[in-house]
Amino acid sequence: MPTIHWFRRDLRLADNPALLAAVEQARAADDEVVPLFVVDPALWRSAGAPRLTYLARSLRALDESVGGRLVVRHGPASQVVPAVATEVGAPAVHVTAATEPYGRRRDEAVEHALDVPLVRTGSPYAVAPGRLTTQGGTPFQVFTPFRGAWLDHGWSAPARRPQRVPWADVRSDGVPDEPATDVDLPAAGERAAHARWTTYLQDELAEYADLRNRPDLDGTSRLSIPLKYGELHPRTLLADLAQAPFDVATFRSELAWREFHADVLWHHPGAAQQSLRTVVPEDSWASGDAADAAFEAWAAGRTGYPFVDAGMRQLRALGWMHNRVRMVVASFLVKDLHVRWQRGAAHFMEWLVDGDISQNQLNWQWVAGTGRDAAPYFRVFNPVTQGEKFDPDGTYVRRWVPELRDVPGRAVHQPWKLGLEAPEDYPDPIVDHGAERKVALDDFHRGRD
């Protein structure tokens, strides 16, 4: 009887230990493997068009690599997976373990409904969330010691890509249509992800530490998207990094942040919605029409602060935003506009192609000062000096804010200083950063009283 490999956030054949486990079980019985993907309405409803389009393309690429045999079925996973298992008479269903709250709940429901084992092998991380603890046996609260333990623990070598897999021929509903989107998406699929990684490793990674904070220079890997869908596994990257002839510590450390956030969410599933710490009194937050107007201006990239607006427009154009700018726009929403981080995080989840509940929510909590190892609440990013420092010639702003295209050099970060020369179609700042910073700090001090 064929064994099922149920693909979720592991849309690849290489370095996929769960798939390998399914293939080995099938081979031992001289049988086939059913490559299954479930289009669960719960998942489909919660993701924005850019993510769904990318996912549909990634599924098409996966279908090609399994010889057109990908079995796509629509419906709640807790019904579909047991139904397919019964239909083909599978002895087991193999998966890469889900570690975030929704995936864990879903898998428990599937496991409960199945008559055969749900076999979890590996996770989307180099070290499974929850595996590392402090010497006292408690979860890590702080990143640096977590990273130390993570490096000490290490990870296994990449798993081999299974060859000549006998994929079963089972009815498929087909890959869903792509929703309409104007977002300019990168090529999807395992092969495109490997190509991107190989090029980046050879040509750009050596300069990562110097360039990673410069949104104008585009010096980062853009691998967050393939990592989110599991088109690449971080273990593959870490194995290649170990062979690199230059210093890779900064890049490896960013991968460690990804693992840290997943670990925090594993221990605190509620952090997907609730602040891990309360830092300001409830009445600090904007509400009603004022909050709505501020949020709308922020989301549309019309705050009058060019570095913030460039980021918000990059998000809408690419479904991706540079990390430095993510921090600045998030700080602006929470500390200048006094809008709760959850609202900004939801907007990001709608637009980001790499939108990932652990990375997104925990990074928002980091910026908002409410996370486990967060930036202190009193660190308020200054949208002008951040722009001047990390986009020194204003190239990034001019690329994304066409109204400012004719403003030369770094003057583009403060168009209100241009007087009569200021472009008419670009808004004045909707708030005064200095004044709002003071409000945020006063709120913080009230919260500590």
Tell me if 193 sits within 8 A of 369, measured CB to CB. Answer: no
Any binding-site annotation on 222? Answer: yes
Decide if residue 110 touches ligand FAD (CB under 6 A). Answer: no
Considering the complex, state which of residue 239 and residue 422 has its C-beta at the smaller distance from ligand FAD. 239
> What would you report as the CA-atom Rg of the chain, rounded to the nearest whole angstrom?
23
Least Å distance, CB 64 to ligand FAD, is 24
Q: Which stretch binds ligand FAD (CB under 6 A): 8-16, 90-98, 356-364, 425-433?
A: 356-364
Complete DSSP assignment for 335-381:
IIS---HHHHHHHHHHH-TT--HHHHHHHHHHHHT-STTPPPTT---
Distance between CA atoms of 102 and 38, rounded to whole angstroms? Answer: 15
Residues between 364 and 383 that touch ligand FAD (CB under 6 A): 364, 367
Segment lying near ligand FAD (by CB under 6 A), choices 49-57, 125-133, 326-334, 437-445: 326-334
Three-state DSSP class for 29?
coil
DSSP state letter for 413: G
Q: Which of residues 250-289 bind ligand FAD (CB under 6 A)?
A: 254-255, 257-258, 261
Q: Residue length, the chain?
A: 449
Question: Given the complex with ligand FAD, which of 71 and 362 has the nearer CB atom?
Answer: 362
Is residue 251 a known part of a binding site?
Answer: yes
Asked whether residue 46 is marked as a ligand-binding residue, the answer is no
237 three-class SS:
helix
Query: 334-357: buried (b, 16+ CB within 10 Å) or exposed (e) per residue?
Result: bbbbbbbbbbbbebbbbbbbbbbb
- CA dist 74 and 118 (Å) reads 19
160: Cβ–Cβ under 8 A, 6 or more apart, which residues?
A: 14, 20
The letter for the amino acid at 447 is G
The answer to whether 78 is annotated as binding is no
Contact window for ligand FAD (CB under 6 A) among 11-19, 25-33, 358-366, 421-429: 358-366
412 binds ligand FAD (CB under 6 A): no
Q: Looking at the DSSP assignment, which residues form a beta bridge with residue 34? A: 4
Q: Binding residue for ligand FAD (CB under 6 A) from 3, 78, 99, 221?
A: 221
Is 40 assigned a ligand-binding role in the annotation?
A: no
Q: Which stretch binds ligand FAD (CB under 6 A): 39-47, 132-140, 222-230, 289-297?
A: 222-230
Annotated binding-site residues read 208, 220-224, 251, 354-356
Positions in the binding site for ligand FAD (CB under 6 A): 212, 220-224, 227-228, 254-255, 257-258, 261, 323, 326-327, 330, 348, 352, 354-356, 359-360, 363-364, 367
